[in-house]
A and B are shown apart, each in its own frame.
Chain A
Amino acid sequence: MKYVDEFRDGRLASQLAASIAREADPSRSYRLMEFCGGHTHAISRHGLADLLPGNVRMIHGPGCPVCVLPIGRIDQAIRLALERQVLLCTYADTLRVPASGRLSLLKVKARGADVRMVYSIAEALGLAQRHPQRQVVFLAIGFETTTPPTAVAVKQARALKLKNFSVLCNHVLTPAAMHAILDTPSGTRLDGFVGPAHVSTVIGSRPYEPFARDYRKPVVIAGFEPLDVMQAILMLIRQINAGCARVENEFIRAVTPDGNRKAQALMDEVFELRDHFEWRGLGTIAHSALKPRPAYAAHDAEARFGLEYRPVSDSKACECGAILRGEKRPAQCGIFGTVCTPDNPIGSCMVSAEGACAAHYNYGRFREPSTGTHAPALEDSA
């Protein structure tokens, strides 16, 4: 595929790896967080950690929307499907997230609840138009990439005067999560961030400036392909060696300083900040998530169905919280790969391909612990 294959060239990846090995100072270590689950997936799938010297460590961040969704939020959707008999639509990965009472949306679907997987929120809107007698609820999750599509759908529902379409809104904000990670006093040491690709196409590179300026952490926004990630790591190492902290943009082919203004205006029109929101692993964070503005209350499932949020603690055995904070690695969870597998996830990080545990299970577990030798792990272009 054009604009994919060229960025997966194995020979160039080895050359970037050689530059990284040459420029990384052996007398120090580099702890770099890839915020976004898409990068976690790319790093595992292409074996990039094995191309890095031992003193350059990639730490998985909380940027996997399925992973940070707390149990209490899935429970709300399950209650709507079971007790209010709504037609509940959501993105595929969300169906398998473990909820209270060993349930998931997939399991309640098997019990007869009307739960449907959609590729796009536009499909959910179409279902509402075709089934005027049913209440259609879209369980909306995700960072600033899925939020603008939700805004478009909510606006359309209002324009069409649909009385049976609402959104259970769980949209969360990337900068707020980065602040939360950096503000954890006992948190893991980080020397820089690989900034998200597609979130940044929407919000632009400017929102990362406080992390460089106030926290002195360099940020390099990177595309999702292996060469993008390797180049971003090299750029981070150069900044760290020079004692700089700047926001740089490797994904210049799709990210501008201002981002997508049209998408931002739509989000702003439809959504407002929540006072606080509970994240799995990061706890309750002020001003870290969105909900529909009062003008759109008719399409806000929490308002329409009078839903309350009840927090539920995670399974005691599950280390997702520490993993999402970058404090532990998947293999340090006692039930990783034994009790907890992608077929039977106990925690949310084992659900989606971008979850640290699932990525590690699918691609990385036979290489642990990584010693940083130059294992030829890039696959041929598909």
Chain B
Amino acid sequence: MCLALPARVEELLDAENAIVNLGGVRRNISLALVDAIAVGDYVIVHVGFALQKLDEEEAARTLALFAELGQAQGGAPEAGAQ
């Protein structure tokens, strides 16, 4: 039950409620724990509440770090996990 997923905010219902898209499923969630959320933002959803806004720039930075690592090593070692 600790699993929580990033979901895209599709529609703001009122100041404290929104509809998110959670892997294709639309779900009502509460925004009572977060501030200044806009349509298109990604939020971490847990037990029906947005816990935190996902920082898309930081996400891109973390992915870039992984990509760099991939290039530095010049491809996968023999036992690739595909």
Q: Which residues of B contact A252 (CB under 8 A)?
A: 55, 58, 61-62
Cβ-defined contact, B79 with A65, below 8 A: no
Q: Which residues of A contact B46 (CB under 8 A)?
A: 145-146, 149, 198
Q: Which residues of B contact A254 (CB under 8 A)?
A: 44, 52-55
Binary contact track B47-82/A, C-beta < 8 Å → 1, others 0: 111011111101101110111011001011101111
Cβ-defined contact, A122 with B30, below 8 A: yes
Determine if A14 is an interface residue (Cβ-Cβ < 8 Å). Answer: yes
In whole Å, how far is A260's beta carbon from the nearest beta carbon of chain B?
A: 5
Cβ-defined contact, A11 with B70, below 8 A: yes
Asked whether A120 and B63 contact (CB < 8 A) given A3-B6, A13-B81, the answer is: no
Cβ-defined contact, B33 with A15, below 8 A: no
Cβ-defined contact, B48 with A149, below 8 A: yes
Asked whether A66 and B49 contact (CB < 8 A) given A15-B73, A201-B44, the answer is: no
Cβ-defined contact, A149 with B70, below 8 A: no
| CA of A16 to CA of B61, assembled, Å | 17
Nearest chain-A residue to B33 (Cβ)?
A263
Determine if A208 is an interface residue (Cβ-Cβ < 8 Å). Answer: no
Asked whether A3 and B81 contact (CB < 8 A) given A12-B69, A19-B69, A231-B66, the answer is: no
Cβ-defined contact, B42 with A198, below 8 A: no
Which stretch from A34-42, A128-136, A303-311, A314-322 is at the chain B interface?
A34-42
Determine if B34 is an interface residue (Cβ-Cβ < 8 Å). Answer: yes
B residues adjacent to A (C-beta < 8 A) = 1-6, 8, 23, 30, 32-35, 42, 44, 46-49, 51-56, 58-59, 61-63, 65-67, 69-70, 73, 75-77, 79-82
In whole Å, how far is A191's beta carbon from the nearest beta carbon of chain B?
A: 23
In whole Å, how far is A194's beta carbon from the nearest beta carbon of chain B?
A: 14
| CA of A152 to CA of B79, assembled, Å | 49
In whole Å, how far is A329's beta carbon from the nearest beta carbon of chain B?
A: 21
Q: Which residues of B contact A377 (CB under 8 A)?
A: 81
| CA of A198 to CA of B73, assembled, Å | 31
Cβ-defined contact, B48 with A262, below 8 A: no
Complex interface residues of chain A between 58 and 108 (CB less than 8 A to chain B): 63-66, 91-93
| CA of A226 to CA of B23, assembled, Å | 18
Asked whether A145 and B58 contact (CB < 8 A) given A16-B69, A198-B4, the answer is: no
Q: A145-B2, A145-B47, A149-B46 are in contact. List 20 more A-B contacts (CB 8 A).
A: A4-B6, A6-B63, A10-B81, A12-B67, A93-B1, A122-B30, A122-B48, A142-B1, A146-B1, A149-B33, A152-B30, A152-B49, A228-B62, A252-B55, A260-B33, A260-B51, A266-B32, A376-B81, A376-B82, A377-B81
Which single member of B34, B59, B63 contacts A262 (CB below 8 Å)?
B34
Cβ-defined contact, A227 with B66, below 8 A: yes
Cβ-defined contact, B1 with A352, below 8 A: yes
Nearest chain-A residue to B42 (Cβ)?
A3
| CA of A148 to CA of B23, assembled, Å | 24
